[in-house]
Each structure stands twice: as structure tokens, then as C-alpha cells.
A and B are shown apart, each in its own frame.
Chain A
Amino acid sequence: MELITWPDERLRRVADVIDVFDKALREQASKLEAVMRAGPAAVGIAAPQVGWLQRLVIVDVTARKGTNNGLLILLNPEIVQWQGSVIGREGCLSVPEYTGNVVRAAELVIEAQDLYGESCRYEASGFEARVIQHELDHLDGLLFTDRIVSRRSDLFLRQGGA
């Protein structure tokens, strides 16, 4: 299992819903986690980043300060509530040599399934919430580069009280 990088068109596809929760899926997920751990300081990965076009993401911000949900493996995740907005710097394992400022929701509630198909629900904020949104975008064929705001618009957002 290997990372694919932009402009590989698989990064632009909408990933399929997972409806079989078997051992093969769990093995595949642990391989995906290994790819994430091999990346330089990566805090998340989505299945499409290795060309696996199903709705599964892994997020782990436990190395960062602040509260978080630990290692998250989310299948068929959906954001069901969100509020606030924050601007933060992002880069992507799939888009080397490029970073930019992106606006994300500051807090969110997410519903998903685990590797056994059980429903789960998490609240996330700050850095973890930003990572979750970055990963969910991958499931819909979106990259952070689609959402970059310029430094100048950042100035004006701040002026506008955002």
C-alpha cells in the first residue's frame, strides 16, 4: 500500500460507502494506519490517499497538546453539527511541497461507524476538528488546495470579526 500524490485523478473521486465490515477491511485499515505513521508528522490519512476508494479515515492528534479523542478510525463519517470558524495552515501527504491557509469549522460533532459497523459519535474542536475536516474532504475528492484563502483575505476576515 502506497501513497498516491496529486495530480492522480483518484484523489478527485467520491469514495464509496463501506457496507461490509469484515476481517479483510480491518487488515486493510491497519495497513493504512502504517502508511500514516510512516509520513512525516502526519496526523491523519484517508483511504483515497492510497487509492482505496472507500469512506474510511484515520485521525490521531494525540502527539499534540490539548484534549482529543485519541486514535480515531472513522467509517462512513458525517459531520452532523458544526460551529465557528478558524483559519489554520495545512499541508497534505498527497500534495508535496505546498501549504496554505484554510478556513475550517472550529467545533464539530461527527457520526460514523467503527471497524465492526457499530455506530459512534464524537465531538471535536480545534486542531483535531481541522484534521477531521481535511480527511472528510478526501472522501469527496476535495483537497485543501480547493479551500485556500490568501493571506490578504485572511486580513480582511480578521477585520470582519471572523
Chain B
Amino acid sequence: MAEHWFMLTVVGRDRAGIVAQLAQTLFRAGADFGEASMLRLGGNFTIMLMVHFPAGEHSLAESIKAVAEHLQLRVHIDPIDSHLHENEAADVVVSISGADQAGIVAGVTTRLAAVGLDILNLDSTVAGSEASPVYVMRIEGRAREGIEALEPVIAELQREGLDAVLHPVDMLIA
């Protein structure tokens, strides 16, 4: 079942029942689902969904056209290789927060990548009040050169006034 997989990206204004209508439509059209991530970002609905659809890309697009128009959603489809269950496990979490500043994501991720961090997941949000926003970012990754290699970067970020914390992922299997 490695073939005929697509990454379906759907974005639009959030409203009740989007996922259900989308999923129903795809299911009736004969789709199987893989991994999915639905998030509301700044009040917008977003979903990225792995869809197995043997009838092909054009047919997939046709099958959700009506529901997308009805819900005013923008849809994007990419053919992909499916590798279910091949998500690498993170061994470290980096939490960073600080006064909102342009370039924080770029700056932090670039410096961490340079010392061997493969970033697997990244979430961020803007908290605090409008007058004094606080940028909060959480990165899960794999430290290719060991967690110690990341420590100087964390110390540097702290000197620059960011609240930066490094946690090893203490995975529990039981």
C-alpha cells in the first residue's frame, strides 16, 4: 500500500464540523487515512492528512471539490511516499520563551541545527497580552551529536534574555 498516497492540505476559516464533513466525503469516495494533524492556528482551520487514494490525484481533487467550495476551504494535494510508523523518536525537548521578536524561530532553529539537532516537531504560540506578547516555542528533536552539544547554544540564548530550557526526553516503556 506504499503507492497512491497523497498529502492533503486544507486551510480555511474555522467553523464547526469541517473535519467531519471532510472525512465523510473522503471516506465515501474510497479514501483510507494515514497520519493526520489538525490544528487551529490563529483561528484558522488547518489540516494535513495522509490519504491513500488508488483512483489518483485528479480524482481525489474532484471528490472533495464540492465540499471545499461549500466550506470555503483551500485545498492542496501532493503525491507522497507513505512511510507509516517511521517517525523517529525525539530524545530532547527544547522550550524557549521570550519577548516577541522577529527572527526568533529562524535564529534558534538555525543555531540548534548547527550543533546537530534534527528538528522533528515544532510548535509555537504567542502568549501574554497584546501590549507585551510572549513568544513560546517548543522543539522536539534528535540530538545527533549528543545533548551536551546543544548546551552552549542554550546558554547563549539565556544570555540573550530568552527563557531557554533543555529537557532530555525520558522515554518510559512499560
A contact residues vs B (CB 8 Å cutoff) = 39-45, 59, 64, 88-93, 97, 99, 127, 130-131, 134-135, 151-152, 154-156, 158-159
Residue of A at shortest CB range from B89? A99
Q: Can you pick out 17 interface pairs between chain A and chain B where the beta carbons lie within 8 Å of each other?
A: A39-B173, A42-B174, A43-B173, A45-B174, A59-B174, A88-B172, A90-B171, A90-B173, A91-B173, A92-B174, A93-B173, A97-B85, A130-B172, A134-B172, A135-B174, A155-B123, A155-B136
* B173 near A151: Cβ-Cβ < 8 Å: no
User: Given that A158-B95, A159-B127, A159-B136 are contacting pairs, would A152 and B39 also be in contact in the complex, using a CB cutoff of 8 Å?
Assistant: yes
* B174 near A134: Cβ-Cβ < 8 Å: yes
Tally the A-B contacts, defined by beta carbons under 8 Å.
66
- Which of B136, B169, B173, B174 has most A Cβ within 10 Å? B174
* B121 near A151: Cβ-Cβ < 8 Å: yes
Residue of A at shortest CB range from B140? A151
Q: Closest CB of chain A to B50's CB: distance in Å? A: 15
Contacts of A40 in B (CB 8 A): 173
User: Given that A151-B123, A154-B138 are contacting pairs, would A43 and B174 also be in contact in the complex, using a CB cutoff of 8 Å?
Assistant: yes
Residue of B at shortest CB range from A86? B170
New A-B contacts (4) at CB < 8 Å, excluding given A59-B174, A159-B127: A42-B173, A91-B171, A92-B174, A154-B123
* A93 near B174: Cβ-Cβ < 8 Å: yes
Residue of B at shortest CB range from A154? B138
Residues of B138-174 contacting chain A, CB below 8 A: 138, 140, 169-174
Q: Closest CB of chain B to A57's CB: distance in Å? A: 9
Residue of B at shortest CB range from A160? B127
User: Given that A97-B85, A99-B89 are contacting pairs, would A155 and B125 also be in contact in the complex, using a CB cutoff of 8 Å?
Assistant: yes
Contacts of A39 in B (CB 8 A): 173
* B174 near A89: Cβ-Cβ < 8 Å: no
* A91 near B172: Cβ-Cβ < 8 Å: yes
Q: Closest CB of chain A to B88's CB: distance in Å? A: 11
Residue of B at shortest CB range from A64? B170
Residue of B at shortest CB range from A94? B174
Residue of A at shortest CB range from B125? A155
* A127 near B121: Cβ-Cβ < 8 Å: no
User: Given that A131-B174, A154-B138 are contacting pairs, would A89 and B169 also be in contact in the complex, using a CB cutoff of 8 Å?
Assistant: yes
Docked Cα-Cα span, A135 to B172, in Å, equals 11
